[in-house]
Amino acid sequence: MNTIEIKEKVPRNLICSFLGHKFITTRNVTEHFKEYKCTVCDLELTNDLKGHKTYLTPKLREINESLMSLYKKRHFSI
């Protein structure tokens, strides 16, 4: 049985629970805040105020949108 067959039979969340998540940065909100996504199970995370990763809820997604808008206005306006 090769790894492709194993991945098709085992749920994605179970793979991540044994092997760990493989996060990529999906969006840089500011220099300090980023959004991450697991390439295996599609779990989305973001940074909190202390710099720890936390689940990306709809409320936090809205906060990140507002923060990114304010950041762009402040740093990229002429």
Which tens digit of pLDDT belongs to each residue from 26-64? Answer: 999 998 999 999 999 999 999 988 989 999 999 999 999
What residues have CB less than 8 Å from 61, skipping those under 6 apart? Answer: 46
Domain residue spans in the chain?
A: 21-76
Which band of pLDDT confidence, cut at 50, 70 and 90, is reported for residue 10?
low
Classified as helix, coil or strand, 1 is coil
pLDDT at 68 over 70: yes
On average, the pLDDT of the chain sits at: 85
pTM value is: 0.76
Instruction: Give one DSSP letter per residue of 28-48, joined into a string.
Output: E-SSS-EEEEETTT--EEEE-
Euclidean distance between the first and the last CA atom of the chain, given in angstroms as a whole number? 60
The β-bridge relationship of strands 23-28 and 44-47 is unpaired
Q: What is the pLDDT of residue 17?
A: 84
